[in-house]
A and B are shown apart, each in its own frame.
Chain A
Amino acid sequence: MAFEYAPAPESRSVVDIRESYGLFIDGEFADGAGGRIKTVNPATEEVLSEVVEADAADVDRAVAAARRAYDRVWGPMPGRERAKYLYRIARIVQERARELAVLESIDNGKPIRESRDVDVPLVAAHFFYYAGWADKLGYAGFGPDPKPVGVAGQVIPWNFPLLMLAWKIAPALACGNTVVLKPAETTPLTALAFAEICQQAELPAGVVNIVTGAGETGRLLVEHPGVDKVAFTGSTEVGKQIARSVAGTRKRVTLELGGKAANIVFDDAPIDQAVEGIVNGIFFNQGHVCCAGSRLLVQESIADDLLAALKRRMSLLRVGDPLDKNTDVGAINSAAQLERVRQLSELGTSEGAERWSAPCELPERGFWFAPTIFTGVSQAHRIAREEIFGPVLSVLTFRTPAEAVEKANNTPYGLSAGIWTEKGSRILAIADKLRAGVVWANTFNKFDPASPFGGYKESGYGREGGRHGLEAYLAK
């Protein structure tokens, strides 16, 4: 008899989702002048809440509030005082961890295991980490008395809503800047919960402002003349628009964009852990990860065995209810994203690659896509070149280390890469040749607030995290 895990749902009772939310401006929730947009649970298509689609007047008010707070309170405040607020926020995030994890899973579709064990702990860790820097900026290597930049306009994506917020807000505040942040239109709820945390921490009004909305709100924020610094994480296409729009202005920009990372497995790799790393590389967060290991480059001599092991492992993935504690792969974030994943996958088949999906029962309602791999993929296939941003892995083979490097680098992107080999010298030699901002060795998708993260080429510029992450928020 088989071992069937009974449903183990995390309780929804810890979250209290309001019917509608206003904008968080100058320390208060306020109605916006713009229209309303609905946010849905991607696992059930249930409407969760309504949020404001901030218009130009709303963005004006938010930027003005941030400017006032910067000039009067936060900019002049000594670093050691700012640190106290950041520590307080970090502790409140820990105290409300369960609520934030459940809310994130409901709004985003990611499994509770990931929001509970990865997203929310990392959010707290980022605030703790940058709280530590706030009174030590003179020793960070950016001059003896570096100054903040001013008001930061920050636009974040829907794949790690609260974590991306933390990546943006924690270093900005530590350095003495104030922020106006726009969460993604499909995942605004944890950012609004964070606004409550700011109130709870008695953060001075206007230091953090949250304006909800879609692409147009983001454009208004990025192009607002009162913004000194733009930080964006999202698609390369939008990143290019932002780079164009701020060209010729005084604004400083950091962009963290798309990726098509190579996960390179050599024949002397620790096979069982490599299989785990491949799975974690592409199926973590349904593949909605800019640094996902979406291209598997495997040495031809072990390809058949490795793929057999990978398929066996994929068959064990538990796809379904994001709130079930045993779920490994949750829902695709939106109908639009599901459509894109489907289209690119169909393209893979029509271009001649062989498709294999893990056998799993998908729920009837909601947005779902079975974990899928394509074998027989060549560099010329679009599924080997374009970012799918879903649970779809393209498998290519190589014969020599030089060929592996050549194929890995043969992409307009350069955000991350993985190397699997038991040979330490090979790790160093290959990592040195890979044109990617993050190179993982015998692991994948590992994040730490002390480690800088960012891209080469069309994966963006600037670094977030670590000491390097301070640079974007300090004036020289």
Chain B
Amino acid sequence: MRTLAGMTATVASGLDEVARSNAALRAFLHGLPGVDQVGADQRAAMLGTRSIKTTAKAWALDLAIRMVDLTTLEGADTPGKVRALCAKARRPDPEDPSCPPAAAVCVYPAMVGVAAEALDGSGVHLASVATAFPSGQAPLDVRLAETEAAVRDGADEIDMVISRGAFLAGRYLDVYSEIVAVKQACGDAHLKVILETGELATYDNVRRASWLAMIAGADFIKTSTGKVSPAATLPVTLVMLEAVRDFRAATGRQVGVKPAGGIRTAKDSIKYLVLVNETVGEDWLHPDWFRFGASSLLNDLLMQRTKMSTGRYSGPNYVTLD
């Protein structure tokens, strides 16, 4: 019998139980209620029509800025580029001291040392992708060593990728074990687990991968690397939010959610905040529990923020391009 009650009881009785074998893990994940794609798309689209104006918009823009993981993940990244980004994260709007800082800067492991120095004392978190980002196709010991190096150099958040190959092949226990191992390598650093939902394809898979990551100890679940299209979408984020909501109800542990990739406008980011508000509620409306993985989004948020206070669009020449 596939029931929510059964599901809840299983998890509450102990997560180890669920992960004792691949068969047990498979039975659990496939016992989760299905996701009807048409219905999920429809719900996300309806929430996308919410009209957020005036005071609500001003509040949402500031919150969105505080939730940005300002990201640069290019082969062309240099220390200079990373330092500029860190300065931007600390003080996104140089002309307005009331503008809050971003949540974090997100860089490749090789850039962590530079970023750690640039962010020192700012309160802005330092996230690093690790585990052979974006494909994850490297031996486990290499991925663990990369994670350890990033933490050692000063990252307090690690964004790992799961092995989509193993997940799609049904080797759930392998995926689980890898997440557990990376979590251990993180030490005190927070672990965000990237599902790469664009490659998982179905919402049923997104829900299963979300639970798998949470059972294995993820502090955050994240949609995408940004290197695969489609990246974050509203319905995928909806399914993940439902998963963290149900997981907390079942276990008492709260897990964060991070959509990443493709969120470029303030308007889009507000749609995500509405989704959070009407799916999991205000407990998640905080940078500790919801983040945007983005780069160009921040400037649009700043332009909209200035427009709210001055009544005019300042234009792209008045925000910094880093």
Determine if B3 and A267 form an interchain contact, defined as CB atoms under 8 angstroms apart: yes
Closest residue of chain B to A272 (Cβ to Cβ) is: B242
B interface, over-half SS: helix
- Nearest Cβ on chain B to A133's Cβ, whole angstroms: 28
Given A3-B59, A305-B5, A272–B282 Cβ distance below 8 Å?
no
Determine if B3 and A302 form an interchain contact, defined as CB atoms under 8 angstroms apart: yes
* Contact partners of A272 in chain B: CB under 8 A: 33, 35, 39-40, 43, 242
* Contact partners of B242 in chain A: CB under 8 A: 272
The interface centre, meaning the residue of A3, A4, A5, A325 with most chain B CB atoms within 10 A of its CB, is A3
* Contact partners of B8 in chain A: CB under 8 A: 305
Determine if A442 and B5 form an interchain contact, defined as CB atoms under 8 angstroms apart: no
Determine if A270 and B35 form an interchain contact, defined as CB atoms under 8 angstroms apart: yes
Asked if B34 is at the interface (CB within 8 A of a chain A CB), the reply is: yes
- Nearest Cβ on chain A to B175's Cβ, whole angstroms: 23
Asked if A451 is at the interface (CB within 8 A of a chain B CB), the reply is: no
* Contact partners of B285 in chain A: CB under 8 A: 1-3
* Contact partners of A302 in chain B: CB under 8 A: 3-5
Given A301-B5, A302-B4, A304-B5, A2–B282 Cβ distance below 8 Å?
yes
Determine if B56 and A305 form an interchain contact, defined as CB atoms under 8 angstroms apart: no
Number of residue pairs A-B, CB distance < 8 angstroms: 90
Asked if B57 is at the interface (CB within 8 A of a chain A CB), the reply is: yes
* Contact partners of A5 in chain B: CB under 8 A: 50-52, 56
* Contact partners of B274 in chain A: CB under 8 A: 3
Closest residue of chain B to A442 (Cβ to Cβ) is: B36
Please measure, in the bound complex, the distance between the C-alpha atom of A390 and the C-alpha atom of B254, giving whole angstroms: 38
Please measure, in the bound complex, the distance between the C-alpha atom of A443 and the C-alpha atom of B42, giving whole angstroms: 10
Determine if A4 and B56 form an interchain contact, defined as CB atoms under 8 angstroms apart: yes
| Residue from the list B33, B38, B49, B51 in contact with A442, Cβ < 8 A | B38
0/1 interface trace, chain A 3-24, chain B, CB 8 Å (1 if under):
1111110000000000000000
Asked if B177 is at the interface (CB within 8 A of a chain A CB), the reply is: no
Asked if A210 is at the interface (CB within 8 A of a chain B CB), the reply is: no
Please measure, in the bound complex, the distance between the C-alpha atom of A117 and the C-alpha atom of B5, giving whole angstroms: 36
Question: What are 20 inter-chain pairs, A to B, with CB distance below 8 A?
Answer: A1-B285, A3-B273, A4-B55, A4-B59, A5-B56, A6-B52, A7-B53, A8-B53, A113-B49, A268-B34, A270-B36, A271-B4, A273-B36, A273-B43, A302-B3, A305-B8, A309-B4, A325-B49, A325-B51, A422-B36
A: which residues have CB within 8 A of B? 1-8, 113, 117, 267-273, 276-277, 301-302, 304-306, 309, 316, 325-326, 422, 442-443
B: which residues have CB within 8 A of A? 1-5, 8, 33-36, 38-40, 42-43, 49-57, 59-60, 242, 273-274, 277-278, 282, 285
Knowing that A5-B50, A117-B49 touch, tell me 17 more A-B residue pairs with CB under 8 angstroms: A3-B60, A3-B274, A3-B277, A3-B285, A5-B52, A8-B51, A8-B52, A268-B34, A272-B35, A272-B39, A272-B40, A272-B43, A276-B42, A302-B3, A309-B4, A325-B49, A325-B51
